[in-house]
């Protein structure tokens, strides 16, 4: 659908820089949506931008310092543009660092115009107007009770062919307060969108060609949104409703928490064909002592049991996880317990992190911080083990036929890239017009981070 507003408003260039998780990718797309009626259209080069939004992430190490260093670069670009006779570029900082640092950002970087937290981006047009009027700074980092989703434009940007697989945030915030994590402080308390608003956004995405939906939330399986009758619906109920939308062939969700896994979610993996056989279920550690110190609320054996039940329901399910090595107090024995858990489960992939203290979190003030050199050594060991498991998982697919959603052109002419049910990129020779289809591909061999295959059928295997 074309945007008539943009034709009557002066067109301006918007460049959004996104750091961090998929929820930030989703938020950046929605910020582009809310600014579109003001005439802003996305551009890929920051040098051409009338407005830049730096959408930040607080999870990674030295997050705040990286923001200030990037802001220094943006200031320079703004000065160069002014020297070339362009209008003053608006600089906005969004996301979790904006939430955590607030006014500190304006103090250290007074040239920033707008600072907005992750819960307030629906108010961006008003903030842009206020910043222009006052010629000063606008800071919006409260957690409004009204949910931002209720204020977003109902017509989002048309999906491009590359965008056949889209993110949809269904839940935000977290009440779990793991010892190491800033999310409860930056994203606020746990809250879920209503079933109706999610279905309406998903239908619109499907109309624009989206075939694969990834439902997002900090604790996505804690989802408890209200349905049309005012009753609380859980994630499996939502998945069932979404799978009935015409065009939506695949559904994924991330990130889930072991404590919120229910039998009905496990059953949904057995019953719902659209639910992909891939589960990202972070465990962080295999040691009960460390899990307790982390405040994760479950033991290593409880995690093993959850995976056993998923596999009983859906034998081909691929398991992914997050691990932190070197949490305060982690001994050699604790680390060995993590390696034992990894060997027991057999992961298709996993993200591995070295513990890094986050100001304001309990672990950052804990005694017995682990030596950096020990953390480095443990990270290498754990990464090697995960890499071997990932290679084994990918290797086991060679010679097998899998359903692949073709999403975009490959780097070489005649190549098309798609995604397997297990999240791997799969490269095949196929005509471009097949992008958007789900086809049967025989896996021929593994590449470093993807699989090479050949087209077997233009439909999917039963
Ligand atoms: N809600 C999810 C869960 O409970 O598993 C994870 C959300 S967090 C945004 C993503 C991952 O970042 C975590 O699973 C953890 O492994 C890692 N992480 C978070 N804080 C960290 C820290 N202080 N040091 C190292 N890794 C961290
Ligand atoms: Fe952070 Fe996840 Fe723990 Fe919540 S459950 S505090 S988001 S790691």
Percent of residues, the chain, with pLDDT higher than 70: 92
Query: Which of 190, 99, 205, 107 is closest to 152 using CA atoms?
Result: 205
Residue nearest to atom 3 of ligand 2 (CA): 178
Ligand 2 site, residue 178, Cβ cutoff 6 A:
yes
For ligand 2, whether the C-beta of 254 sits within 6 Å is no
Cis ω before 432 (30° cut-off from 0)? no
- 182 Cα nearest atom in ligand 1: 20
Closest CA to 398 of 443, 457, 440: 443
pLDDT tens profile 263-285: 999 999 999 999 999 999 999 99
Q: Which one of the ligands is nearest to 189 CA?
A: 2
pLDDT band at 20 (very low <50, low <70, confident <90, very high): confident
157: confidence class by pLDDT, cuts 50, 70, 90: low
Tell me the whole-structure pTM to 2 decimals: 0.83
Instruction: Give 209-232 pLDDT, tens digit per residue.
Output: 899 999 999 999 999 999 989 999
Ligand 1, atom nearest to 296 Cα: 4
The per-residue pLDDT for range 290-316, each reduced to its tens digit, is 999 999 999 999 999 999 999 999 999
Which residue from 183, 186, 261, 282 has its CB within 8 A of the most atoms of ligand 2, so it is best to mutate? 183
| Ligand 2 pocket check for 259: Cβ under 6 Å | no
- Burial label for 418, CB within 10 Å (0-12, 13-18, 19+), is buried
């Amino acid at each position: 659908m074309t945007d008539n507003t943009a034709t009557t408003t002066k067109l301006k260039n918007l460049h959004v820089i996104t750091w961090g998780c998929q929820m930030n990718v989703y938020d950046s797309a929605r910020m582009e949506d809310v600014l579109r009626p003001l005439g802003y259209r996305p551009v890929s080069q920051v040098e051409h931008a009338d407005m830049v939004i730096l959408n930040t992430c607080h999870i990674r190490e030295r997050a705040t310092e990286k923001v200030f260093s990037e802001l220094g670069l943006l200031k320079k670009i703004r000065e160069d543009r002014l020297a070339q006779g362009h209008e003053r570029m608006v600089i906005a900082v969004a996301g979790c660092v904006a939430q955590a640092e607030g006014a500190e950002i304006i103090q250290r970087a007074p040239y920033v115009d707008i600072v907005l937290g992750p819960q307030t981006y629906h108010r961006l047009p008003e903030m842009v107007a206020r910043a222009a009027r006052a010629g000063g700074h606008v800071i919006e980092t409260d957690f409004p009770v009204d949910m931002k989703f209720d204020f977003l434009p109902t017509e989002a940007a048309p999906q491009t062919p590359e965008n056949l697989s889209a993110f949809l945030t269904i839940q935000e915030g977290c009440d779990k307060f793991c010892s190491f994590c800033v999310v409860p402080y930056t994203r606020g308390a746990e809250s879920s969108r209503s079933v109706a608003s999610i279905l309406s956004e998903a239908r619109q995405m499907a109309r624009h060609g989206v075939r694969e939906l990834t439902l997002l939330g900090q604790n996505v399986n804690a989802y408890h949104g209200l349905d049309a009758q005012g009753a609380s619906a859980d994630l499996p109920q939502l998945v069932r409703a979404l799978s009935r939308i015409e065009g939506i062939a695949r559904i994924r969700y991330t990130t889930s928490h072991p404590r919120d896994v229910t039998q009905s979610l496990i059953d949904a993996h057995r019953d719902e064909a659209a639910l992909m056989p891939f589960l990202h279920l972070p465990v962080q550690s295999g040691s009960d002592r460390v899990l307790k110190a982390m405040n994760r609320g479950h033991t290593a054996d409880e995690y093993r049991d959850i995976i056993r039940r998923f596999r009983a329901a859906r034998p081909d399910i691929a398991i992914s996880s997050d691990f932190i090595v070197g949490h305060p107090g982690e001994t050699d024995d604790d680390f060995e317990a993590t390696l034992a858990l990894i060997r027991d489960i057999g992961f298709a992939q996993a993200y591995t992190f070295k513990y890094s203290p986050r100001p304001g979190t309990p672990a950052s003030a804990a005694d017995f911080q682990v030596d950096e050199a020990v953390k480095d050594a443990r990270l290498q060991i754990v990464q090697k083990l995960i890499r071997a498991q990932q290679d084994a998982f990918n290797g086991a697919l060679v010679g097998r036929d899998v359903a692949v959603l073709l999403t975009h052109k490959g780097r070489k002419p005649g190549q098309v890239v798609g995604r397997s049910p297990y999240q791997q990129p799969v490269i095949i020779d196929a005509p471009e017009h097949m992008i958007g289809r789900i086809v049967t591909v025989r896996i021929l061999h593994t590449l470093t981070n993807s699989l090479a295959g050949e087209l077997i059928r233009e439909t999917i295997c039963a």
